[in-house]
Amino acid sequence: MPLISLQTDIEQTPAARESLLGELSGIVAAVIGKPESSVMVILQPAGMAMAATPGQAAFVELRSIGGLNADVNRRLSERICAALQTALGVPPERVYINFIDIARADWGWNGSTFA
């Protein structure tokens, strides 16, 4: 049920995109402690500007039912930023990450919710 959604202005080849999707999925599963079979990753191209400067930036939104806290979020931020710098060349200071803890009743799946 964790969802990591990445928006960036960096173009990637299909192979590079698949590799990054897999890496982000593995990071989320390992750090949050949930099975990777429950992780969804979305990568969307976007026009971006940060600090009044266009380009070379990323916005990440990570949603999960539980598993997020100050320590976990710091570790996720460190690992996600490192992955984005390696894969895309986006420096960590050009990445924003939003962590959202979702109530079980507010997450739908398979015609129901997790409540």
**CATH number, domain at 19?**
3.30.429.10
Model confidence at 113: pLDDT above 90: yes
Q: How far apart are CA 18 and CA 74, in angstroms?
A: 25
Find the catalytic residue in 2, 35, 54, 91.
Answer: 2
Distances (CA, A) of 4 to 77, 88, 112: 12, 16, 21
Residue 1, pLDDT above cutoff 90:
no
| Single pTM value for the model | 0.93
Domain hosting 11: range is 3-113
How many structural domains compose the chain? 1
pLDDT for the residue 28: 97
Residues 6+ apart with CB under 8 A from 71: none
Rounded alpha-carbon distances, angstroms, from residue 37 to 22, 34, 40, 82, 105:
11, 8, 8, 23, 20
Instruction: Clarify whether 2 is annotated catalytic.
Output: yes
Please give the pLDDT value at position 84.
97
Query: Mean pLDDT throughout 5-13?
Result: 95
Average of per-residue pLDDT across 70-76: 98
pLDDT score, position 55: 86
